């Protein structure tokens, strides 16, 4: 096998190098016919597929160079009903490529049993990408991390004898190759690779392996080489990539992941490989207990412009749409909501200005496309913090420049080629003709919006009933092992929950004689969380965190003379998704001690323990209509108890906006709608800011019937559901915030037949507003022309200097319209009015509400 793979690798390398060398020569023959063949491309043309090669400048798809703006949208984290909308919004946002991981553990959850249905239908998803005229990248892994349960590896793989994940290990390589062949063959059968006429132009093997490679020593290096060779042997006809793999062997391309790849990436490991950015992190994923995380769009735009100014030709936004970790699919302690701060939020709604500012950036880069792909690069240092990167095609007027101010706090003015250019701090201005600024990364011309959660008027007549989960003892769950079993091995990823039971016989002399003294039960656990019951009574809850999985739960308990039943409900919150030797991670209780007895400290770890996987409600599927009929549901009167199932019904919320459920007043558990799990909730794990990490949980519209939707909540902690709300979600609050420094919108220019020109008679800066989904402006909630207001979109506060007619002017331009443009013009706002602050550059801030 090794000889065969090596031969394939050598032949592929020779083929790629020869092809790349030929194309490289053509690409720089600006005056010859070969150069012309590569220059011209109709960007509106649908994806037709064709051979895919590369050189040191870019990918070359069907003989044409491409600048690729890609977005990660994971088919598993949304629904098939959402896919067309998400892809359409991505394309409208200026993308021409969609990237997705492929998730082994949902496609083969049980060895030899495959699932490609519903939102796991990979082929259907990729076909939709092609139908929208976009390219695709598939990242096969099979280890993907992705904050996905077990990093995408199926649990059963852990139990293969002698296996060591991601190493030169015979068992792992056998199953990995078998899986890769399964996915590749499925995609080939559907003719989805570019040489077959499909949209897939890149494929990835492994994932950020350099991060763990040294832990495996030589077995890591040999595994990496084997993985590359095995991938190439699949003969898919498109290049393979390895992200964060500086030593990726030819012909595999090494790529960058991170926030600032324009500055941190050392570049391809061979001069004939292109500079590609596979993960441009648009925010930070969150785990339970985290505060909110943000990444400003101006920082993303700066990083992308920087990358393309330094020969980059592909950036992939990770994530472009994060979506939802339905069911039990999230990795260890990861929230149900994933990358909500992406350009498309969890519900698929454009998050402005992130979505719209990046759209403008893509437009500016496309205006510079010919110079970037065929021009001769140059760089000119202007000062300690300013520089110009430029690309020119000799003997033509094709030229593009990136004017850069690297200073984080101080603005600058640079003089370049006879003109002065103002640069805000930490910004890049893009000049597609080396003369005209059409975009600056820091000055956001695009609109802003604010997300609104609105209580549904028809879906909140919630009449709750409850079913208490039975608490087992050694009478129901018999002792079957001297010590508590390891939790991962016990559960086998079939449930979050496992019961541990033991009994402890005490006589009166063992118990403290003073009423003020109680025995204490101390439980040390390797993770992730645990509930304690004594004699059927709920005692308390303990848990670890993403950074420290292990914890100790200590609670005073009331023991009686006689036999005491001790019951633990141990649980996982997703399996580990990263690091070396994942198959050697462990969880669950490993030391149980009773303190405070008259007879001294008592270690009951080896007392003999019973074990049971899953809850009774899970086995009966009480979260489904049929399963709910198998138990008795009672009214929710009385005090709240731990480990209770709650059930109610609701009608579909009005309108077509996305739907969410706000879990106010609840603790921790899971949520089902019509039998489909929308994920784990955890309201009681507060961030350092004193708030839950996630309060609202997405219910896809496709999960909902017109009436009588069964909603079931498993609540582990003592809590009542009376404050739970069904909400609709919109981004109908639209804002604009521009200054007299802002350049006009990039849509004011176009390039046609290699000629860069304005598309308007008068080019000027303006506040542009566009309502979503054909809605119209129904009210102007805020308007200010003067000094900058305080606050942000959704909560602006007037500054000290403001034109008194600001709101009137905006209303004249915008009321009753689906879109409007308000010029930032002093004559418009200060006509016949004294300027109270004539010495400052003016700011125009607008906030409107859109509705049907």
pLDDT confidence of 762, banded at 50, 70, 90? Answer: confident
Among 243-257, 702-716, 747-761, the minimum mean pLDDT is found in: 747-761
Average pLDDT rounded to a whole number, residues 257-283:
97
pLDDT of 178 over the 60 cut: yes
Secondary structure percentages of the chain, helix, strand, coil, to 5: 25, 30, 45
Average pLDDT rounded to a whole number, residues 664-692:
98
Burial class (CB in 10 A: 0-12, 13-18, 19+), 730: buried
* Distance in angstroms (rounded) separating the CA atoms of residues 610 and 375: 72
Q: What is the pLDDT of residues 36-93, one digit of tens each?
A: 333 333 333 456 678 999 999 999 999 999 999 999 999 999 999 999 999 999 999 9
* Distance in angstroms (rounded) separating the CA atoms of residues 213 and 210: 5
Residue ranges of the alpha helices (H) in 696-825? 806-814
**Rounded to two decimals, what is the model's pTM?**
0.94
pLDDT of 848 over the 50 cut: yes
pLDDT confidence of 200, banded at 50, 70, 90? Answer: very high
Instruction: Provide the pLDDT for residue 519.
Output: 97
Q: What is the pLDDT of residues 789-824, one digit of tens each?
A: 999 999 999 999 999 999 999 999 999 999 999 999
Question: Which residues fall within 8 angstroms of residue 619, CB to CB, at 6 or more apart?
Answer: none
DSSP string, 173-195: HHHHHHHHHHHHHHHHHTT-BGG
CB 497 within 8 A of CB 618: yes
Q: 5 or 324, which is more confident?
A: 324
How open is the CA angle 768-772-773, to the nearest 5 degrees? 140
Of all residues in the chain, what percent carry a pLDDT higher than 90?
90
Instruction: Provide the pLDDT for residue 712.
Output: 98
Inter-CA distances, 795 with 145, 450, 798, Å: 38, 9, 10
Instruction: Provide the pLDDT for residue 33.
Output: 31
Angle between helices 218-232 and 170-189 (to 10 degrees): 20
Task: Set out the domains of the chain in order of their start, with CATH numbers.
Answer: 52-351 (3.20.20.80), 453-467+619-729 (2.60.120.260), 472-610 (2.60.120.260), 764-851 (2.60.120.740)
CB 455 within 8 A of CB 660: no
Query: Buried b / exposed e across 399-437, counting CB within 10 Å, b at 16+?
Result: bbbbbbbbbeeeebebebeeeebbbbebbbbbbbbbebb
Instruction: Provide the pLDDT for residue 4.
Output: 38
Residue 698 CB-half CA count within 13 A:
26
Estimate to the nearest angstrom the gap between the alpha carbon of 377 and the chain centroid. 34
How open is the CA angle 27-32-34, to the nearest 5 degrees? 50
CB 155 within 8 A of CB 149: no
* Distance in angstroms (rounded) separating the CA atoms of residues 564 and 503: 5
pLDDT confidence of 107, banded at 50, 70, 90? Answer: very high
CB 611 within 8 A of CB 604: no
Instruction: Provide the pLDDT for residue 516.
Output: 87
Q: What is the pLDDT of residues 517-576, one digit of tens each?
A: 999 999 999 999 999 999 999 999 999 999 999 999 999 999 999 999 999 999 999 999
pLDDT of 296 over the 90 cut: yes
Instruction: Provide the pLDDT for residue 47.
Output: 63
Q: How many CB atoms lie within 10 A of CB 68?
A: 24
Across the chain, what does the average pLDDT equal? 93
Average pLDDT rounded to a whole number, residues 155-184:
98
Q: How many CB atoms lie within 10 A of CB 634?
A: 12
What does residue 181 show for φ and ψ, rounded to 5 degrees? -65, -40
DSSP string, 106-158: HHSSBTTB----GGG-HHHHHHHHHHTT-EEEEEEES---TTBGGGG--HHHH
* Distance in angstroms (rounded) separating the CA atoms of residues 508 and 511: 6
Question: Which residues fall within 8 angstroms of residue 667, CB to CB, at 6 or more apart?
Answer: 682, 683, 684, 715, 716, 717, 718, 719
3-state per-residue secondary structure call for 228-274: HHHHHCCCCCCCEEEECCCCCCCCCEEEEEECCHHHHCCCCCCCCCC
3-state per-residue secondary structure call for 798-827: CCCCECCCHHHHHHHHHCCCCEEEEECCHH
pLDDT of 491 over the 90 cut: yes
Q: How many CB atoms lie within 10 A of CB 347?
A: 26
Instruction: Provide the pLDDT for residue 9.
Output: 38
Give the residue among 76, 48, 77 at the shortest CA–CA distance from 63.
48
CB 141 within 8 A of CB 102: yes
Residue 436 CB-half CA count within 13 A:
19
pLDDT of 159 over the 70 cut: yes
Instruction: Provide the pLDDT for residue 549.
Output: 97
**Residues linked to residue 542 through DSSP beta bridges, in sequence order:** 530
Instruction: Provide the pLDDT for residue 48.
Output: 61
* Distance in angstroms (rounded) separating the CA atoms of residues 627 and 624: 5
* Distance in angstroms (rounded) separating the CA atoms of residues 673 and 683: 19
Asked if the bond preceding 142 is cis, omega within 30° of 0, the reply is yes
Of all residues in the chain, what percent carry a pLDDT higher than 70?
94
* Distance in angstroms (rounded) separating the CA atoms of residues 430 and 423: 11
Q: 637 or 426, which is more confident?
A: 426
3-state per-residue secondary structure call for 467-523: EECCCCCCCCCCEEECCCCCHHHHHCCCCCEEEEEEEEEECHHHCCCCCCCCCEEEE
Q: Where are the beta strands (DSSP E) in 285-411?
A: 312-321, 376-381, 386-392, 399-405
* Distance in angstroms (rounded) separating the CA atoms of residues 818 and 770: 6
Edge to edge, the sheet with strand 676-682 lists: 634-635, 465-468, 644-650, 709-715, 668-673, 676-682
Q: 123 or 4, which is more confident?
A: 123
Q: What is the pLDDT of residues 702-748, one digit of tens each?
A: 999 999 999 999 999 999 999 999 999 999 999 999 999 888 999 99
The catalytic residues are 208, 279
CB 473 within 8 A of CB 565: yes
Average pLDDT rounded to a whole number, residues 488-494:
98
């Amino acid at each position: 096998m090794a000889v065969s793979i090596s031969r394939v690798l050598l032949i592929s390398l020779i083929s790629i190098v020869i092809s790349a060398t030929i194309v490289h020569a053509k690409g720089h023959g600006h005056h010859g016919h070969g150069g012309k063949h590569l220059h011209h491309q109709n960007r509106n043309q649908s994806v037709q597929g064709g051979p895919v090669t590369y050189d040191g400048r870019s990918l070359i798809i069907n003989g044409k160079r491409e600048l690729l703006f890609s977005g990660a949208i994971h088919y598993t984290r949304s629904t098939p009903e959402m896919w067309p909308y998400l892809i359409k919004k991505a394309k409208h946002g200026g993308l021409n490529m969609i990237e997705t991981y492929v998730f082994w553990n949902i496609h083969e959850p049980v060895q030899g049993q495959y699932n490609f249905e519903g939102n796991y239908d990979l082929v259907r998803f990729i076909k939709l990408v092609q139908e929208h005229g976009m390219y695709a990248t598939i990242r096969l892994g099979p280890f993907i991390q992705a904050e996905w349960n077990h990093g995408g590896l199926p649990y059963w793989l852990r139990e293969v004898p002698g296996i060591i994940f991601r190493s030169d290990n015979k068992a792992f390589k056998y199953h990995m190759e078998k899986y890769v062949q399964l996915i590749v063959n499925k995609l080939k059968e559907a003719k989805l690779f570019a040489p077959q006429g499909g949209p897939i132009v890149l494929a990835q093997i492994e994932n950020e392996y350099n991060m763990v490679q040294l832990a495996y020593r030589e077995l890591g290096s040999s595994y990496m080489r084997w993985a590359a060779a095995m991938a190439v042997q699949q003969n898919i006809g498109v290049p393979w990539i390895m992200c964060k793999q500086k030593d990726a062997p030819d012909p595999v391309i090494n790529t960058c992941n991170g926030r600032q790849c324009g500055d941190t990436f050392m570049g391809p490991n061979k001069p004939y490989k292109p500079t590609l950015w596979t993960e441009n992190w648009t925010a930070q994923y969150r785990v339970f207990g985290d505060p909110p995380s943000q990444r400003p769009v101006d920082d993303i735009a700066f990083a992308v412009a920087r990358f393309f100014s330094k020969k980059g030709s592909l950036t992939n936004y990770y994530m472009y749409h994060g979506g939802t970790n339905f069911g039990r699919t999230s990795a260890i302690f990861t929230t149900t909501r994933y990358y909500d701060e992406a350009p498309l939020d969890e519900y698929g709604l454009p998050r402005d200005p992130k979505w719209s500012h990046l759209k403008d950036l893509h437009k500016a880069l496309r205006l510079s496309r010919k110079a970037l792909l065929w021009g001769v690069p140059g760089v000119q240092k202007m000062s300690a913090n300013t520089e110009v990167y430029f690309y020119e095609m000799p003997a033509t007027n094709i030229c593009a420049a990136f004017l850069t101010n690297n200073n984080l706090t101080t603005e600058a003015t640079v003089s370049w080629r006879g003109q002065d250019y103002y640069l805000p701090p930490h910004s890049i201005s893009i000049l597609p003709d080396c003369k005209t600024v059409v975009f600056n990364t820091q000055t956001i011309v695009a609109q802003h919006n604010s997300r609104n959660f609105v209580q549904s008027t028809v879906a909140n007549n919630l009449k709750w009933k409850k079913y208490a989960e039975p608490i087992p003892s050694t009478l129901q769950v018999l002792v079957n092992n001297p010590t508590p079993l390891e939790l991962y091995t016990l559960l086998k990823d079939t449930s979050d929950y496992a019961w541990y039971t033991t009994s402890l016989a005490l006589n009166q002399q063992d118990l403290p004689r003073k009423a003020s003294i109680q025995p204490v039960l101390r439980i040390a656990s390797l993770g992730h969380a645990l509930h304690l019951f004594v004699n059927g009574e709920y005692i308390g809850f303990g848990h670890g965190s993403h950074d420290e999985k292990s914890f100790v739960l200590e609670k005073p308990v009331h023991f009686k003379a006689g036999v005491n039943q001790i019951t633990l409900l141990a649980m996982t919150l997703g399996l580990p998704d990263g690091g070396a030797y994942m198959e050697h991670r462990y969880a669950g209780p490993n030391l149980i001690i009773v303190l405070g007895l008259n007879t001294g400290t008592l270690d009951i770890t080896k007392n003999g323990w019973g074990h049971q996987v899953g809850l009774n409600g899970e086995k009966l599927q009480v979260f489904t209509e049929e399963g709910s009929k198998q138990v008795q549901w009672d009214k929710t009167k009385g005090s709240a108890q731990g480990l209770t199932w709650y059930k109610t019904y609701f009608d579909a919320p009005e309108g077509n906006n996305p739907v969410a459920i706000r879990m106010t007043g609840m603790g921790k558990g899971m949520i089902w709608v019509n039998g489909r799990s929308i994920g784990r909730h955890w309201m009681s794990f507060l961030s350092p800011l004193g708030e839950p990490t996630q309060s609202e949980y997405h219910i896809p519209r496709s999960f909902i019937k017109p009436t009588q939707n069964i909603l079931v909540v498993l609540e582990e902690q003592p809590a009542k559901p009376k404050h739970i709300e069904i909400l609709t979600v919109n981004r109908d609050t639209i804002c604009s915030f521009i200054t007299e420094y802002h350049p006009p919108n990039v849509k004011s220019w176009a390039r046609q037949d290699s000629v860069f020109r304005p598309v308007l008679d008068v080019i000027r800066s303006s506040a542009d507003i566009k309502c979503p989904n054909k809605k119209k402006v129904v009210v102007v909630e805020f308007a200010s022309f003067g000094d900058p207001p305080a606050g942000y979109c959704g909560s602006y506060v007037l500054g000290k200097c403001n034109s008194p007619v600001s709101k009137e002017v905006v209303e004249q331009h915008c009321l009753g319209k689906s879109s409007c443009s308000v010029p930032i013009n002093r004559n418009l706002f200060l006509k016949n009015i004294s300027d109270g602050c004539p010495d400052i550059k003016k700011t125009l801030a607008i906030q409107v509400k859109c509705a049907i």
